[in-house]
């Protein structure tokens, strides 16, 4: 009987073993001890509708829409992977209206009809938003669905408490524009807008709205079908402006018509500064052709500060190795327009680089949508398991209300998100400037920071940080020495080095003072060989950084000199030079300079609210000059790679001693293993808290030598020697498998590291 149970146990044990292997391979649940497996509850969904707008003619698939689709789905996938089994997952519906208002209404109606809808994001047009509110306003309000829109007319959604705007709105922009125009002394501005466009019309009407209204000497609203200017409209505007002689032209008719009008006005002899409120200044001036534009030109900095990179974006690109960040306008060949001739190839549809202006705009849009989904996902993850869609909508709405008026801030990957009491993004409206006759776009010297309902003037520091030398890069101590020149210029001549705090300067343990040596080279006075008004300093000291050592010794490191205003009483913004620091051909101290840029980010400073019964957060600008350096691997190659190669080579040659010299063969192989271990222990500590490329190279070496030892022992076994096939297999593994596997693994490790670099 016992033998029967034993015989029965053997196949049962094999079945258990097979089941265990199945679990290890597939991750399938394994019933143990005969207990029933609890069935997981069905997964519930929280649906987000994303409203986008591709081109009406459908000739191209826009890069911006591709970016939105990519980052939205990537964030949803990441959220769902982190959700435990049976938990609530996100689903996303991307609805494209192709710039058709009727389709926009249909898309919003379809979204609201979903019983599991918890939020909507998008709708990048106030003109198409108007019929949505007119047709579906009651349903939208009653649904309580949080709607994070791109609507620029805050008056349009003022009556809908569940609607927010994640973009700059007309009232916020015009508050800065009117203050800027008045402070710059313009007395006779003229406006040209686009009739029938809700955003353009609101801009023109808002300029004349009290209490800070501008006295426009001319107000023209024209029709520009397909964004093209009627020459008769241009002649009529030119004739009127020649008579009234404005000192500033405010344009809000988009880039194509705006460029054509400006060219026509310039030819008619109207040569005045221009402020672009709708369209892209660079595209407008490019349409003027040779000679450009002789007067100053301004626009709202919708693409951020020229030459100043979003630090979070840079880190994201860095971590990904630059893969998947290119979003081009690609021809949609299924559109009949390509065969009919109405679709044409445009220069902007060609390939681009990651940090090209057009691609950066696409990335910006996609990352903004990604942040909105992350904000919604945070609330969904906190919702009780029994909550239905209505309860989740209310939870999201309550969290959004905490972001009003600086009570709280959501830290996204693109930026920090908060909203004004009007449910519009609480962000500063910046003005860029193109000096007359210049091709460079930069921050205007006069900026304003929003403080409550008012504006605080903010100085602009034009900077140039030029590296002299970097040395003593210590990844174990997380610090490096830098010597550099810093040049500053500002309309506020009193601003200087004392107003700058270097936030990552290494501080002493005793007094917490920075170990920087700062020497003034030039104080900005005239009468010297230095340009007047430019203050120049020589700075030397030690700075901290966060090393990334996965690819050591073929690693790249980001070394930053980070700085911010020393006090909120004297805030400033940074305008870096037009070009990034030049590549340094000569290596210094074992490193080679590869790239450099100026980045920006925010510190979030929590403080007490005015009522002293709550908390409020304040955003504090900070900047960094970053240098990307590559470690020169010559020393590591000579001290480590070459010796390891000889160790592996000797290990390989030992197998040719033959079976009769088994003791000598094993001695050589064991000595090779011990030599590799001793070599590893002799390496300097680089301070890595994870396995580096060097560690992985040694692990492959250990595995290879250990495999060779094991094969030698197995090959000398009497049981193996009895079977000729087994003996042949061991020999093939030693003679061919060992070198192929070892060399292949080494090449794969190094190639993967160099590929990331």
Cβ partners under 8 Å of residue 578, min gap 6:
306, 307, 440, 442
Helix (H) or strand (E) holding 597: strand 591-608
Provide the CA 346 distance to its chain's centre, in angstroms.
Answer: 27
The percent of residues in the chain predicted with pLDDT above 90, rounded, is 42
287 vs 302: CA distance, rounded Å: 20
> Cα(488)–Cα(531) distance, rounded to whole angstroms?
11
Give the tokens for residue 524: 């900005």
- The per-residue pLDDT for 484 is 92
User: What is the H or E stretch that residue 410 is in?
Assistant: strand 410-411
DSSP H stretches of helix in 309-356: 311-320, 337-340
Cα–Cα distance, 161 to 143 (Å, whole number) = 11
Phi, psi of 241, deg, nearest 5: -70, -30
Between β-strands 516-523 and 89-96, what pairing exists: parallel, antiparallel or unpaired? unpaired
Positions of E strands within 335-380: none
- Rounded to whole angstroms, the Cα distance separating 54 from 677 reads 60
Q: What is the DSSP string of 280-293?
A: -HHHHHHTT-TT--
| Cα distances (Å, whole numbers) of residue 613 to 51, 180, 407, 452 | 39, 36, 12, 18
Looking at residue 583, what is its pLDDT?
52
Burial class (CB in 10 A: 0-12, 13-18, 19+), 685: exposed
Task: Give Dmax over CA atoms of the chain in angstroms.
Answer: 117
Helix segments in 466-524, DSSP class H: none
pLDDT of residue 216: 95
* Among 274, 277, 233, residue whose Cα is nearest residue 252: 277
Chain centroid offset of residue 141 CA: 34
Instruction: Give the pLDDT confidence score for residue 8 in this predicted structure.
Output: 36
8 A C-beta contact, residue 564 and residue 619: no
Q: What is the pLDDT of residue 617?
A: 62
Q: Whole-angstrom Cα distance, residue 280 to residue 92?
A: 31
Q: Is 474 helix (H, G, I), strand (E, B) or coil?
A: strand
- Segment holding 390, helix H or strand E: helix 389-402
Q: What are phi and psi of 358, to 5 degrees?
A: -65, -45
In this prediction, residue 427 carries a pLDDT of 84
Looking at residue 618, its pLDDT comes to 67
Length of the chain: 757
Q: Which residues does the chain have with pLDDT short of 70? A: 1-43, 290-291, 347-352, 405-406, 452, 510-512, 579-587, 603-619, 718-721, 753-757
Sign of the alpha-carbon torsion through 640, 641, 642, 643: positive
Contact indicator for 588, 597 with CB cutoff of 8 Å: no
How far is the C-alpha of 81 from the C-alpha of 89, rounded, in Å? 9
Q: What's the pLDDT score for residue 708?
A: 87
Buried-state track 1-30, b at ≥16 Cβ within 10 A, e below 16: eeeeeeeeeeeeeeeeeeeeeeeeeeeeee
Stated as kind and residue range, the H or E segment containing 107 is: helix 101-113
DSSP state of 519: E
Q: What would you report as the CA-atom Rg of the chain, rounded to the nearest whole angstrom?
A: 33
């Amino acid at each position: 009987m016992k033998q029967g149970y034993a015989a029965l146990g053997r196949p049962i044990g094999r079945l258990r073993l097979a089941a265990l292997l199945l679990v290890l391979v597939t991750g399938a649940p394994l019933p143990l001890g005969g207990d029933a497996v609890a069935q997981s509850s069905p997964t519930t969904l929280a649906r987000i509708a994303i409203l986008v707008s591709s081109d009406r003619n459908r000739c191209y698939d826009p890069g911006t829409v591709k970016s939105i689709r990519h980052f939205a789905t990537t964030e949803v996938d990441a959220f769902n992977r982190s959700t435990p089994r049976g938990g609530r997952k996100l689903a996303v519906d991307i609805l494209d209206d192709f710039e058709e208002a009727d389709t926009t209404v249909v898309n919003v109606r379809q979204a609201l009809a979903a019983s599991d809808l918890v939020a909507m994001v998008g709708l990048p047009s106030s003109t198409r938003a108007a019929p949505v509110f007119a047709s579906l306003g009651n349903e939208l309000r009653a649904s309580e669905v949080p709607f994070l829109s791109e609507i620029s007319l805050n008056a349009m959604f003022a009556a809908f408490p569940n609607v927010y705007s994640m973009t700059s709105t007309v009232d916020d922009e015009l508050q800065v524009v009117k203050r800027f125009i008045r402070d710059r002394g313009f007395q006779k501005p003229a406006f040209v807008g686009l009739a029938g466009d809700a955003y353009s019309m609101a801009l023109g009407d808002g300029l004349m709205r009290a209490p800070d209204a501008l006295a426009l000497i001319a107000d023209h609203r024209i029709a520009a079908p397909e964004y093209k200017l009627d020459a008769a409209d241009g002649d009529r505007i030119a004739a009127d402006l020649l008579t009234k002689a404005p000192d500033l032209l405010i344009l809000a008719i988009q880039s194509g018509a705006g460029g054509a009008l400006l060219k026509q006005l310039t030819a008619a002899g109207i040569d005045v500064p221009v402020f672009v409120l709708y369209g892209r200044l660079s595209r407008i001036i490019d349409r003027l052709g040779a000679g450009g534009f002789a007067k100053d030109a301004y626009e709202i900095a919708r693409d951020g500060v020229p030459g100043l990179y979003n630090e979070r974006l840079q880190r994201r690109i860095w971590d990904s190795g630059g893969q998947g960040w290119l979003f081009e306008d690609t021809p949609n060949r299924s559109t009949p327009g390509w065969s009919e001739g109405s679709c044409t190839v445009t220069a902007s549809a060609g390939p681009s680089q990651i940090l090209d202006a057009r691609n950066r705009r696409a990335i910006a849009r996609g990352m903004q949508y990604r942040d909105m989904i992350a904000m919604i996902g945070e609330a969904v993850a906190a919702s009780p398991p029994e909550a239905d869609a209505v309860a989740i909508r209310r939870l999201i709405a309550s969290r959004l209300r905490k972001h009003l008026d600086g009570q709280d801030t959501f830290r996204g990957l693109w930026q920090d998100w908060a909203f004004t009491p009007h449910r519009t993004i609480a962000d500063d409206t910046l003005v860029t400037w193109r000096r007359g006759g210049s091709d460079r776009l930069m921050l205007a010297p006069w900026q304003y920071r929003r403080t409550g309902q008012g504006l605080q003037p903010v100085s602009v520091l034009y900077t140039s940080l030029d590296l002299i030398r970097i040395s003593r890069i210590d990844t174990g101590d997380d610090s490096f020495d830098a010597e550099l020149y810093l040049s500053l210029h500002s309309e506020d001549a009193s601003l200087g080095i004392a107003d700058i705090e270097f936030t990552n300067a290494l501080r002493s343990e005793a007094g917490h003072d920075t170990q920087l040596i700062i020497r003034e080279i030039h104080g900005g006075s005239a009468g010297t060989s230095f340009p007047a008004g430019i203050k120049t300093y020589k700075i030397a000291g030690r700075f901290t950084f966060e090393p990334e050592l996965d690819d050591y010794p073929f690693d790249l490191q980001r070394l930053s000199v980070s700085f911010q205003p020393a006090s909120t009483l004297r805030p400033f913004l940074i305008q870096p030079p037009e070009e990034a620091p030049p590549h340094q051909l000569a290596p210094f101290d074992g490193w080679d300079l590869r790239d450099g840029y100026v980045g920006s980010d925010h510190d979030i400073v929590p403080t007490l609210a005015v009522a002293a019964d709550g908390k409020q957060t304040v955003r504090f600008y900070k900047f960094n000059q970053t240098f990307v350096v590559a470690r020169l691997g010559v020393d590591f190659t000579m001290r480590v790679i070459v010796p390891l190669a000889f160790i592996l080579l000797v290990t390989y040659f030992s197998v040719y001693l033959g079976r009769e010299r088994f003791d000598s063969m094993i001695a050589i192989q064991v000595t090779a293993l011990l030599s590799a271990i001793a070599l590893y222990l002799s390496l300097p500590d680089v301070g890595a808290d994870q396995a580096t490329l060097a560690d992985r190279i040694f692990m492959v070496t250990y595995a290879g030598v250990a495999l060779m030892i094991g094969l030698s022992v197995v090959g000398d076994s009497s049981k193996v020697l009895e079977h000729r096939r087994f003996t042949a297999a061991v020999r093939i593994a030693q003679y061919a498998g060992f070198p192929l596997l070892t060399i292949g693994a080494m090449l794969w490790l190094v190639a993967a590291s160099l590929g990331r670099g």
